[in-house]
Amino acid sequence: MDNELTYDLFSELNVTIPTATVEFIKTFIENANKNNTWIWPSTTLPNTYLLNNELRKIDFGPVINDFFIDWAGTLTILKVPPNSYVPWHIDVILGRRCVINVPLTLYPNSVTLVTNAPVPDTNLCKDIEYNTFKMPYLMDKVYLLNSQKYHSVFNFDTDIRYVISFCSDKLNYQEACKYFRDKNIINRQW
């Protein structure tokens, strides 16, 4: 069993999303259909959205804007309802090999866990032991997640947890780390 931190689970990036953009997305969410898990109108163009059949561009700052252009990134807003969880999983959805997550607000009673061990069948609960690592998800921080490692989200808050999620299927986590390391913006890794 591997209980050691391998530094290939997630990274904190030294990137800031403009406040006006975060506020715009919060307003968009307030006005969106709250019953959908994937609520961002998808387009085939990077960092754009449709409003009243008009294509509009969003400024996520130079690093994320470049990521969209360089790696054909897409944008999703993930929603986890109050007092619920997303089971352990590896992202198999097309386009989610590399994931950058940004919390929209501080969620003190929500946690994202990542492990570098295979998650066993939960029906076999005898002598199961594996290390998990908690993603810090601090405000004004951007996180690169290795979505090919098992991860889970637990939201014990009374509010819906929203996370902006930028993703690409053009590169994996290690390639994304190199991309961001070459730009000298990885703060720390787990």
Domain ranges across the chain: 10-189
DSSP conformation class of 41: P
What's the pLDDT tens digit per position in 71-103? 877 777 888 999 999 998 898 876 788 899 998
Q: How many CB atoms lie within 10 A of CB 130?
A: 14
Phi, psi angle pair for 143, to nearest 5°: -125, 135
Report the 3 state secondary structure along 79-144: EECCCEEEEEECCCCCCCCEEEEEECCCCCCEEEEEECCCCCCCCCCCCCCCCCEEECCCCCCEEE
What's the pLDDT tens digit per position in 133-188? 899 888 778 999 999 999 999 999 999 898 888 888 889 999 999 999 999 999 98
| Sequence-ordered list of residues with C-beta below 8 angstroms from that of 4, at least 6 positions apart, any chain | 131
CA angle 56, 79, 23 (to 5 degrees): 45
CATH architecture of 10-189: Sandwich (2.60)
CA angle 177, 104, 102 (to 5 degrees): 5
pTM attached to this predicted model: 0.81
How far are the Cα atoms of 30, 40, 41, 114, 146 from residue 33, in angstroms, in the given order? 8, 10, 11, 30, 29
Q: Which of 14-28, 40-54, 100-114, 136-150 is predicted with the least confidence, judged by mean pLDDT?
A: 40-54
